[in-house]
Structure 1
């Protein structure tokens, strides 16, 4: 599907943009209704339907709920006590019996340093969950893209094996006619029958591989695609990427795993601050009201908890070690992700050279050689063996070309995965 945007001065207003989005969505739906999907449409469908995406979104919701919990103020405690007085001496000495009641309210005063560190840690957890969601999206989008091109590869190999099978059938028919008129020995027909059965077996295996690739796509999209879907793409689709230097410079700010580890580093640092601040004494405000038959008493006080014997050294050391672990992991992953980018780039360049090599002459020369061998076979100048040899050379060349095209697209998908480049909502 190709969408043409007409950019005119002054027309990009909110209403126009909304209508434009509706138009693009309707075009995608029209292609889906016809059973043909672009790679971008398959990625969008998979990102909406896959269960792992739903689970990652739920993790973001959980992290946002944790922020609400971290920002909540502590609740007061109310204690009510009541009961009768039972005199132990004669009533003439103590007076008549009475009821007494006592109400005590306790309100914790939260340490502001602990509170701010706890809220910041929860907010960093939200950023880590969002980065994790972005990573799941990028991984799934890349996997969908690779599986789509694998389906195109398997279908191309199946078409190639079908052409070879048709060629073997045609040669078998010609040899059978020659055997019937006594021009060649029956041994040639037996050899041709064997080659036809071999070609039929390879054709059937290639078709089964195509269906297996189709099932893998259905699995990744949770069955949202039609059973007999078709792909509106090709292994010859152009691969357009920024330069390696530009990708290397932008990678630290776009790679989801690096962003997630940075958020976890911030959360670990705030946890250290939270544990250190927890060493400070905590205070509760107390208010008590006491009533009996003769007196009413109102008292106000403070309850102070002092960490005198244990000053949370274990929790602080654990937080420091966890922060060091996250920091070391972040430094290593920054280095490793850049190396993965460079490796994927080199793989892409190697695949591009292989494609150019096979397209530049090997496949054409093998096709010309097969045509010459077929013509010579029909004229009786060459035997069946020469046709088989040239056909095998062409088959290997076409297989290598299809594989090289697939590896080129897979390497480009890996680069897009590392930089989280996929169709956004």
Structure 2
């Protein structure tokens, strides 16, 4: 039943690819860097984070604005209640009041500085989204290469099993081998075919996941011009520690948010100072014309913004503690990624240093002995399974090495940002 479902899914996938228009089937070869550029330009999460930066810049413009004046004009006729000999002639009444707030320079400076620090925080958040997406694209790309290598490996094993099955069938037909060997060989062929089709489906699933991550900017027939054997080179661990502390977007975001919170404390403290409004009044009627200037002071006598100041202090302390923890946590993540890279490198060196060669040699010897009639079919199967397991472990070790390298680059925000369209 499982074999039937796999075959049905595989056939459906082939029919779907044949039904796709020719323009979408054009093969495009992309390097890892090209793939990252494409994904960073098309992914909606990056665009949303960039909008947050633009919003923060707009808030700076608002923070830098000066307060507008307040103008009040009153105009109307005057009506006499007494004779003109007593009140004089009637006339229109006009009154103009102008009020202009004089902003506290300490309050203004703290408000602008806090808004500018939030711009840095939003930019760091954008860089974090970019770094995360670039790392995911890199890992998904190498996962696709891994699944394709596994599919090629399973295809080779399937071809080998078919060849052995053909030879056993000839031996059975001429009476040299028992029919039981043919049944067992047929079972192994079906098992190899099942694994091959499953590996192909896994490769297509990895391709779809990569297309989804790139927000549909990739054509269905694209190819990755990279290899699991790509070199992984980094500076020393000590240099990486210093680089991560300076360039990690999450650390930079928390530093900017802490700076904004500190300036918010200054802003709340500056709000305690009296607020000054300059007043001007012009009054005209039939007999008099008056010009009056004055000052309006708002004195914080009963409430001196104690709640707002304490809230800003506690928020600054929260961000400071969070920043200290994140520095430690990101440092430990770097250590873990570095150790994972070294472990994967040692595994690759161990497999490439002789294990794969020995397993391949053992299979060749078993096949030769089987053709000469000195070994049975079981010995060939055992050596083939050993080689398959060794090759699978080697591919997995190479993939883990590339994944650890992607994690290190994510922590230090290393991606092709100079090519991103702002």
TM over 0.5: yes
State which of 242, 246, 265 in structure 1 corresponds to 2:239.
246
User: How many angstroms does 1:84 deviate by?
Assistant: 2.3
1:335 aligns with 2:289: no
Partner of 1:285: 278
User: How many angstroms does 1:91 deviate by?
Assistant: 4.8
Partner of 2:128: 135
Give the Cα–Cα distance (whole angstroms) in 1 for the partners of residues 349 and 153 of structure 2: 20
1:144 aligns with 2:121: no
Give the Cα–Cα distance (whole angstroms) in 2 for the partners of residues 299 and 205 of structure 1: 90
Helix, strand or coil for the counterpart of 1:104? strand
The aligned runs of 1:301-380 (5 Å cut-off) are 301-380=294-373
Partner of 1:390: 383
Give the Cα–Cα distance (whole angstroms) in 1 for the partners of residues 66 and 140 of structure 2: 50
After TM superposition, the structure 1 stretch with the greater mean CA deviation from structure 2, 304-313 or 175-184, is: 175-184
Give the Cα–Cα distance (whole angstroms) in 2 for the partners of residues 90 and 291 of structure 1: 21
User: How many angstroms does 1:250 deviate by?
Assistant: 2.0
Partner of 2:59: 66
Give the Cα–Cα distance (whole angstroms) in 2 for the partners of residues 294 and 94 of structure 1: 9
Helix, strand or coil for the counterpart of 1:223? coil
Which runs of 5 or more residues in structure 1 are unaligned? 1-32
State which of 207, 210, 215 in structure 2 corresponds to 1:214.
207
Alpha-carbon displacement from aligned partner over 1:133-184 (angstroms, at most 9, x marks no partner) = 1111111111111111111111111110101111111111111112222222
Give the Cα–Cα distance (whole angstroms) in 2 for the partners of residues 378 and 97 of structure 1: 129
Give the Cα–Cα distance (whole angstroms) in 1 for the partners of residues 207 and 151 of structure 2: 13
State which of 161, 177, 195 in structure 1 corresponds to 2:154.
161
| 8 Å CA contact retained: 2:272, 2:300 | yes
Give the Cα–Cα distance (whole angstroms) in 2 for the partners of residues 273 and 87 of structure 1: 57
User: How many angstroms does 1:194 deviate by?
Assistant: 1.4
Give the Cα–Cα distance (whole angstroms) in 1 for the partners of residues 176 and 317 of structure 2: 84
Partner of 1:25: none
1:203 aligns with 2:196: yes
Give the TM-score normalised by structure 1.
Answer: 0.90
The aligned runs of 1:86-105 (5 Å cut-off) are 86-105=79-98
Give the Cα–Cα distance (whole angstroms) in 1 for the partners of residues 83 and 181 of structure 2: 132
Alpha-carbon displacement from aligned partner over 1:283-334 (angstroms, at most 9, x marks no partner) = 1111111111121111111111111111111111110011001000000111
1:260 aligns with 2:253: yes
**Aligned CA-pair RMSD:** 1.3
User: How many angstroms does 1:410 deviate by?
Assistant: 0.6
State which of 10, 17, 29 in structure 2 corresponds to 1:36.
29
Give the Cα–Cα distance (whole angstroms) in 2 for the partners of residues 206 and 102 of structure 1: 87
Give the Cα–Cα distance (whole angstroms) in 2 for the partners of residues 230 and 370 of structure 1: 32
Helix, strand or coil for the counterpart of 2:283? strand
Give the TM-score normalised by structure 2.
Answer: 0.91
The aligned runs of 1:222-241 (5 Å cut-off) are 222-241=215-234
Helix, strand or coil for the counterpart of 2:303? coil
After TM superposition, the structure 1 stretch with the greater mean CA deviation from structure 2, 54-63 or 111-120, is: 54-63
Give the Cα–Cα distance (whole angstroms) in 1 for the partners of residues 263 and 278 of structure 2: 28
| 8 Å CA contact retained: 2:27, 2:221 | no
CA distance change for structure 1 residues 384 and 50 in 2, over 3 Å: closer, same or farther?
same
| 8 Å CA contact retained: 2:27, 2:223 | no
User: How many angstroms does 1:101 deviate by?
Assistant: 1.1
Helix, strand or coil for the counterpart of 2:261? helix
After TM superposition, the structure 1 stretch with the greater mean CA deviation from structure 2, 354-363 or 185-194, is: 185-194
User: How many angstroms does 1:96 deviate by?
Assistant: 4.2
User: How many angstroms does 1:365 deviate by?
Assistant: 0.9
